[in-house]
Structure 1
Amino acid sequence: MASKPNIDLTRFSYAIQQKMNVMNAVMLRDMRTRFFNHGLGFLIQSLWPLSHMIVLLTIYNLAGRSAPFGDSLNVFFATGLVPTLSFMYISRFMSLSIVLNKPMLSFPAVTVTDILFARALLEIIAGALTLLLIIVVLWCTGANPTPADPAQAVLCYLSTVLLAVGVGTLAGVLVMMFELFVTIYALLCILFYISSGTLFVANQLPSSLAVPLSYSPLIQSVEWMRTAYFENYSDSLVDREYLVIFGFSCLLLGLGLERLFRRRIMEG
């Protein structure tokens, strides 16, 4: 009788090890297909969102726009671009990974969640490298990228990652059920970007616009990040619990749908 817990623990350890091996295989395949079959490709991939931000910041500077808050236009727009692009890149490529890695589902050990979470981990690491590069670029341009409240800035970024993984999981499962959804979600990402608050100050809009927009978890992320950076930035629209709950809800809903329709998904 005393050996039963040890047997259960051994089985559990074996299951965890097997799951890690599967995810490692999926990650290696992703790196070979998306990251140019070379380790340096992973670093290059981190430059895409960075180049995206640099182009947008250059446009804003050439347009002669002034910073609504703070002393640096680059820092102000970066506080919106970082959470917005982090969400878009992680969630979109999670949904796209299902299409790209569909042949791997022919192996019994590989599940939809293995593919989704393997891609999520790659995107999170790439996003962290991108964030580090952005900080370096801002320092090099003479701007100070240090937030007024570093703890809140970190919590906001982690909550945004949770949101991205949650929405990406839900989107990925929907893509397995309806492959057309991968195109629909790519179009939705454009709408998410426009309405994220990156290009405007949401709390300065009329309440008839600001209140409906505040139900977007992405605009919550942008507003939260800006309150962490600028002491005089209003937090009237910020609801931190809403952002976290929304992210967890999407994650649980995605996992629930995958479990409920697993046989149909695998047969399809």
Structure 2
Amino acid sequence: MFKQRQTNNLFQAAFKTLALIYHQSVYNLRTTHRNAVIGLLLTIMQSALMVILLMTLYLLVGIRGSPIRGDFMLFVMSGIFLFMTHVQTASAVSSSHSVSAGIVKHEPLNAAILISGAALAVLYRQTLSCIVILSVYHLTFEQITIEDPVGAGMLYLLAWFSGCCVGLVFLGIRPWSPQASTMITNIYQRINMIASGKMFVANAMPGFLLPWFSWNPLFHLIDQTRGYIFINYSPHRTDLLYPLWISIGALMIGLLINFTTRKYESVSWSAGQ
């Protein structure tokens, strides 16, 4: 218990760090529900409910066909999956740790492990949810074809990575003002319900409406992903590099804020808030 941990080489240190990240990810998965299986089923049901609600909205408006030549449900799910992954990752990373939390007092843990564990837990849950929902739809209702699954999967990971970067910025703000950080995180999630453009097609949007969405990296990611999913769609109004550069910029800003905060953050801060 009181023995100091030592590593003989870089490989051993990397292996121990990866083991800690794995156990922290499992811990985050188990905290969502007492039963791990039920927790995963709830995540799947949440994504399925979002798909059903969006489909119902389309039917109420009178849209019964896909704006893109292809499967209508695949069009809906392509937007929902990237949206859910992005916003839930940002939320999980923004609340991944605090200096006053009891788990931080354990010697092997550090901020990087807690952040990585929170992000990977969301990636695991959302990826499993995507696979299950797509498999059930493919086997039960209608066979689907994804033109470039590797490219679509890479953009899915980029949506997760951009959520990590945005959440890192919110995490740096949280010690200074927890209420403001929570409010900004919630506002960001609500804005992306519309601003992500998951219900629209960028190529078909009028010119006066496009600037209201083009600032959002998630809008570019969803539109570019549909270009990899559907053989008949080629995005012309979105840029693949824009969300990448925005994510890298948010990552740098988040790291600067967190490193600066760590110099001044104290357990006594939480006592006065």
Give the corresponding residue for 2:241. 241
Give 1:177 shift: 3.1
Give 1:220 shift: 0.4
Give the corresponding residue for 1:214. 214
Instruction: Answer whether contact 2:96 2:114 (CA < 8 A) is retained.
Output: yes
Unaligned runs of 5+ in 1: 1-7
Give 1:185 shift: 0.6
Give the corresponding residue for 1:179. 178
Count residues in correspondence: 260
Quick one: percent identity of the two aligned structures? 20
Give the corresponding residue for 1:5. none
Q: 1:92 to 1:101 in 2, by over 3 A?
A: farther
Q: 1:49 to 1:237 in 2, by over 3 A?
A: farther
Q: 1:175 to 1:143 in 2, by over 3 A?
A: farther
Deviates more, 1:117-126 or 1:60-69: 60-69
Aligned positions of 1:28-107 closer than 5 A:
28-36=26-34, 38-60=35-57, 62-63=59-60, 64-66=62-64, 67-98=66-97, 102-107=101-106
Per-residue CA distance 1:110-164 (angstroms, 9 max, x = gap): 3333221101111111111011012113214533432223332122212112211
Deviates more, 1:94-103 or 1:38-47: 94-103
TM-score (norm 2): 0.82
Give the Cα separation in 2 of the matches to 1:20 and 1:91. Answer: 22
2:8 counterpart letter in structure 1: T
Say which structure is richer in helix. Answer: 1
2:103 counterpart letter in structure 1: M
Deviates more, 1:258-267 or 1:214-223: 258-267
Establish whether residue 164 from structure 1 lines up as the match of residue 163 from structure 2: yes
Give the Cα separation in 2 of the matches to 1:144 and 1:160. Answer: 26
Instruction: Answer whether contact 2:69 2:233 (CA < 8 A) is retained.
Output: no
Give the Cα separation in 1 of the matches to 2:205 and 2:87. Answer: 24
Q: What SS class does the counterpart of residue 232 from structure 1 fall into?
A: coil
Give the Cα separation in 2 of the matches to 1:186 and 1:134. Answer: 26
Per-residue CA distance 1:239-263 (angstroms, 9 max, x = gap): 1111112222222322232222212
Give the Cα separation in 2 of the matches to 1:113 and 1:45. Answer: 27
Give the corresponding residue for 2:145. 146
Instruction: Answer whether contact 2:25 2:117 (CA < 8 A) is retained.
Output: yes
1:27 counterpart letter in structure 2: S
Give the Cα separation in 2 of the matches to 1:135 and 1:152. Answer: 17
Establish whether residue 119 from structure 1 lines up as the match of residue 130 from structure 2: no
Unaligned runs of 5+ in 2: 1-5
Give the corresponding residue for 1:26. 24
Q: 1:42 to 1:189 in 2, by over 3 A?
A: same
Give 1:86 shift: 1.2
Give the Cα separation in 1 of the matches to 2:223 and 2:197. Answer: 8
Give the Cα separation in 1 of the matches to 2:174 and 2:222. Answer: 27
Per-residue CA distance 1:158-204 (angstroms, 9 max, x = gap): 21122112112222222233211123211221101211111222332
Q: What SS class does the counterpart of residue 238 from structure 2 fall into?
A: coil
Q: What SS class does the counterpart of residue 97 from structure 1 fall into?
A: coil
Give 1:266 shift: 4.6
Q: 1:32 to 1:161 in 2, by over 3 A?
A: closer
Q: 1:241 to 1:71 in 2, by over 3 A?
A: closer
Instruction: Answer whether contact 2:99 2:266 (CA < 8 A) is retained.
Output: no
Instruction: Answer whether contact 2:47 2:81 (CA < 8 A) is retained.
Output: no
